[in-house]
Amino acid sequence: MAQRTVSVTSEVGLHARPAATFVQTAAKAPYDVTVAKAGGSPVSAKSILSVLALDVRQGESIVISAEGDGAEELLDELAQIASAS
């Protein structure tokens, strides 16, 4: 399983527009993609409600995981979205 730990730098955290872009990107994958606050329980990265419920704020870290063909590239893209300011 591929995994990335990313610090969220957006002023709004992983909310609103960044969350929507994150979920839309994850939803393109034909395999499971999860996201969790560092040390927390993972939720589906394809569910806008689950991602918003994490309440990830600026400066917090998230762990993104995926398994399947192209997982490394997908995680790179999701990490870039989460760390964009």
List the CATH number of the domain containing 68: 3.30.1340.10
pTM: 0.94
Report how many domains make up the chain: 1
Could you tell me which residues come within 8 angstroms of residue 40 by beta carbon, excluding any fewer than 6 positions away? 54
Would you please indicate which residues are annotated as catalytic (active-site) residues?
15
Q: What is the pLDDT of residue 84?
A: 86
Read off the pLDDT of residues 55-82 as tens digits, 9 standing for 90 and up.
Answer: 999 999 999 999 999 999 999 999 999 9
Average pLDDT over every residue of 40-50: 97
Please give the residue range of the domain that contains residue 64: 2-83
Of 43, 51, 42, nearest in space to 22 by CA:
51
Q: What is the pLDDT of residue 85?
A: 58
Read off the pLDDT of residues 5-24 as tens digits, 9 standing for 90 and up.
Answer: 999 998 899 998 999 999 99
